A and B are shown apart, each in its own frame.
Chain A
Amino acid sequence: MAKLSKTAAIVGAAESDEIGEVPGKSALQHHAEAAHNALADAGLKKSDVDGLFTTGFSTLSIGEYLGIQPRFTDCTWVGGSSFVVHVAHALAAINAGYCEVALITHGETGRSARVRGRGSGFSNPNQPQEQYETPYGIMGPPAAYAMACSRYMHQYGEERTRQGLAEIAVSTRKWAQLNPKAMMRDPMTFEDYHDSRWIAWPFHVLDCCLVTDAGGAVVVTSAERARNLKKKPVWVLGVAESHDHNMFSQMPDLTSTVSRVTGKAALQMAGVTHDDLDLAMIYDSFTYTTLVSLEGLGFCKPGEGPDFVKAQRTAPGGDFPLNTSGGGLSYTHTGMYGMFLLVEATRQLRGETGERQVPDCKIALVNGTGGQLSSTGTAILAVD
Chain B
Amino acid sequence: MAEQTYDKPIPIPQPESDYYWKKAQQGELWLRRCDDCEIAYFYPRDICPHCFSRNTSWVQSSGKGTLHAFAIVHRAPHPAFKADAPYVTALVELDEGVRIPTNLVEVEPEPAQIRVGMAVEAVFEQITDEITLPKFRPAKSGL
Contact = CB atoms under 8 A, between A and B. Distances in A.
Interface of A: 121-122, 125-126, 128, 130-140, 142-144, 146-148, 150-151, 153-154, 197-203, 247-250, 254
B43 A132 contact: yes
B99 A249 contact: yes
Interface in B83-132: 84, 86-87, 89-91, 99-103, 111, 116-117, 127
A200 B81 contact: no
Given A132-B11, A200-B71, A200-B73, A147 B17 contact: no
Contacts of A202: 71, 111
A249 B101 contact: yes
Contacts of A142: 71, 73, 75, 77
Contact of A200 (B12, B74, B101): B74
Given A142-B75, A201-B72, A136 B14 contact: no
Contact of A146 (B11, B42, B71): B71
Nearest to A128: B43
Given A137-B76, A150-B71, A126 B89 contact: no
B90 A137 contact: no
A121 B14 contact: no
Contacts of A133: 101
A137 B69 contact: no
15 contacts: A131-B13, A131-B17, A135-B127, A136-B102, A137-B73, A137-B89, A139-B81, A143-B77, A143-B89, A151-B68, A154-B116, A200-B72, A247-B101, A249-B91, A250-B43
Nearest to A153: B116
Contact of B69 (A126, A148, A197, A203): A148
Nearest to A139: B77
B89 A147 contact: yes
Nearest to A248: B101
Interface residues of B, number: 39
Nearest to B131: A135
A201 to B, nearest CB: 4
Nearest to B115: A154
Contacts of B14: 125-126, 131
B103 A147 contact: no
A139 B116 CA distance: 21
B43 A147 contact: no
Contacts of A147: 69-71, 89-91
Given A131-B17, A137-B87, A125 B73 contact: no
Contacts of A122: 9
Contacts of B127: 135
B17 A136 contact: no
A131 B10 CA distance: 7
B8 interface: yes
Most buried by A among B86, B99, B101: B101
B48 to A, nearest CB: 14
* Nearest 7 CB-CB pairings of A with B: A146-B71, A154-B116, A249-B101, A125-B12, A201-B72, A139-B77, A131-B11
Nearest to B116: A154
A137 B77 contact: yes
B2 to A, nearest CB: 18
Contact of B101 (A130, A132, A151, A201): A132
A126 B13 CA distance: 9
B34 interface: no
Contacts of B91: 147, 151, 248-249, 254
B83 to A, nearest CB: 11
A143 B69 contact: no
A130 to B, nearest CB: 7
